[in-house]
Amino acid sequence: MKNPFGNMSNILKQAQAMQEQMAKIQEQAASKTASGTAGGGIVTITANGAMQIVSVAIDPEVVKSGDVDMLQDLVVAATNDALRKAKELMEGEMKALTGGMKIPGLF
């Protein structure tokens, strides 16, 4: 007679291995970056896979124009673009791990 708990043991081992891989991916997230732009490159924001902004680049000409409202809008747009791309990057990493299965709470 087969051990009915043998399969459960394998499932638990696989889940633990997957959890370890997810932890590694999340640790490496800070080293992966994505850039977002706005205004045709006037503002460029770079975010990492941990959803942190790591750099901001603003064309000095837009600062000279004195149009603060436009600059603020461009920073917001570029930030949202960078964060969206960083999220997509990490979703791709997780998809490779989970085989495309959606797991709540992961990116």
Question: DSSP E strands: which ranges in the chain?
Answer: 33-38, 43-48, 53-58
Residue type (1 letter), 41: G
This prediction has a pTM of 0.72
Tens-digit pLDDT string for the chain (107 aa) = 555 566 888 888 888 887 888 788 777 777 899 999 999 999 999 999 999 999 999 999 988 989 999 999 999 999 999 999 999 988 887 787 766 666 655 54
Calculate the alpha carbon distances from 106 to 10, 23, 33, 86, 93 in Å.
Answer: 23, 11, 18, 13, 11
Which domains can be identified in the chain, with CATH numbers? Answer: 4-98 (3.30.1310.10)
